[in-house]
Structure 1
């Protein structure tokens, strides 16, 4: 099946459907940073990548937007300018239109909002398309809040438009936790063009949430250039320890040196304010899935620390560190320092610190349940991509083009690759 990916972002639909054996022949994306990541992930050749690698990142971002780096794939940067006569014929269109106006975290402007109204552009293009060239399948994704937006009338309007244009629709709320350790409920709508497709795609089922964070959270050492330090009890000074290969959940040994020990990785929303309860829990239990990734919220994990200073702060070493000097901040998400550590390693026998060039500390809170301090750090961009189903080599292609800020945004705005793959396999 050939498909076109509208509102493509970094190409979660593209990757998921390709894993299911389908072929992407075009995409549409407005954000230039997401488009740079998309091309780096999906369209450029290794020869072109090597040539781009000779440029600094800003020049690289600009250069890759030239048409030669599409290598024949159809592209439009603004869905509002797309005309059916200028598009290739495809069997399927996917569109994860902007969700902010449907989200309960936003102002809920619904289909009248500037961004979520863009889904109407898809219906306009469909109306312009000759019947013989209409796609057999439509796959639409949005937040669960779409179902209740404007008392459900917005979702009814979308279904009515599909019906008017000749498509029977089925839908399901799919939670990414069925495939990856992230709680992410999204509505997926599949449209079937009448007379061509009659088979049902839903329900899609996952593995019931039994996911390991073994390969999704952690991954330290030479690849990140970070080192683990611990507190020497005799001198109360940091000393270098063995480096764990990966941060694991409580079911796995934390390091080769003490394989009988176990680690705790607790999902945290807003790492700078672990004890703040606002809009639900800030921390989950060990083994639970991560909170839903968004483009705005900060996400992190709390890691078990057996030894710490009396105040609950780990002693700083040499390198970058999370700056949580104002944990009582009244802003919604708190404040985090500029130099955020990419990885915090752990040892169950000694206090864990991350290298730092100054005396900034890592905030830790005492847990009565686990009878230890829990040091908190922000998730890395790579971990966020992993929680969306991306393999590390694909993340590295996006990292080749963009800053951490943009990568966080791209992960939060995307679809979960594994969910799309499951839908693509049913098709």
Structure 2
């Protein structure tokens, strides 16, 4: 938001580890700080004063297909009503909310209808769109619903749709994010690398083969699973198990080698090549699909069970730094958070975060 010219006046976060990272990354001096939003009284909220925008994401687990989808029956889902309590007190011109796509069809649309009705009762007209982070300069397939509430007392500029996939625009946004961190943190050297690359094919440089790698190999032998050539033979068609090593790399037609990844598809597997992303969670599942991303990672979760096929055709887990890069954070931001948190918390925070360039793209239009 600040990269788009907005100024933060306060934040609320119940997780003490997330607060530690937030305060390490941003200059929060003079800002309002809240912890448990349900314990903040109306009078305290009024003391914040005038604000133009309330932005936030009420926890997605209550509506996500990855969870039990209990919606407003889940105590986490009720935090939407806390956001609306703040909106009725502070009366900002804009509400800027985020959640998972499952919010739209949860409980046959009743949950989303309730959200729109509550916003309408508070004096806000809503528009929304589903945006994928991979269209905004980061190599992660991450679809999220963004809802903009316009106060009927203020301006009503339409925000959506937003152009996506514009490489030059994405490059400029990443530069804005980079420059914000370089200029705001005097303790950081301006010569320090911030983004390894802003290329659309960022999976290669951003995953930085050879640095901070987990060298674990699943099984010290080559396992040939099958051949995908019509003839059923030939080196170019060989598919190797994810549980073993790759054979010696060859120059055959430039096609390279592939690793077989179990999927619940007709073939029963997907082929992963060098620098492809691999979802490592529940590898023995017989119902999972879409485990392989072609030069892209699938959606990060709080466990960040994501891997990448490296140059040696081995699958390794992504590092916390790489997960933060997949959300669009510069290395400077990660370095600050890493000084105050463990790797497990850094993984969790990456999975809980929003993709920074997507937020900037929306914030530029607010």
Fold match (TM-score > 0.5): yes
Determine which of 143, 153, 157 is the counterpart of 1:195. 153
Contact 1:137 1:193 in 2 (8 A): yes
Counterparts in 2 of 1:19 and 1:215: CA distance versus 1, 3 Å: farther
Contact 1:271 1:376 in 2 (8 A): no
What displacement does 1:208 show? 6.3
Q: Which residue of 1 aligns with 2:365?
A: 426
- 1:78 matched to 2:17? The reply is no
Counterparts in 2 of 1:86 and 1:302: CA distance versus 1, 3 Å: same
Give 3-state SS (helix, strand or coil) of 2:54's partner.
strand
What displacement does 1:278 show? 3.6
Q: Which residue of 1 aligns with 2:218?
A: none
Distance 1:403 1:19 in 2: 27
Q: Which residue of 1 aligns with 2:327?
A: 388
Q: Which residue of 1 aligns with 2:301?
A: 294
Distance 1:393 1:22 in 2: 21
Determine which of 107, 115, 126 is the counterpart of 2:87. 126
**Alignment size in residue pairs:** 276
Distance 1:94 1:203 in 2: 19
Q: Which residue of 2 aligns with 1:284?
A: 293
What displacement does 1:200 show? 0.2
Q: C-alpha offsets along residues 49-91 of structure 1, whole Å, 9 cap, x if unaligned? A: xxxxxxxxxxxxxxxxxxxxx4211111011122232323211
- Where does the alignment leave 5 or more consecutive residues of structure 2 unmatched? 168-199, 216-253, 257-272
Q: Give the number of the structure whose residues are more often helix, by fraction.
A: 2
Determine which of 203, 208, 224 is the counterpart of 1:213. 203
What displacement does 1:270 show? 0.7
Contact 1:178 1:205 in 2 (8 A): no
Counterparts in 2 of 1:165 and 1:419: CA distance versus 1, 3 Å: same
Distance 1:97 1:109 in 2: 14
Contact 2:307 2:317 in 1 (8 A): yes
TM-score (norm 1): 0.61
Contact 2:140 2:299 in 1 (8 A): yes
Contact 1:174 1:187 in 2 (8 A): yes
TM-score (norm 2): 0.71
Distance 2:281 2:14 in 1: 31
What displacement does 1:297 show? 4.6
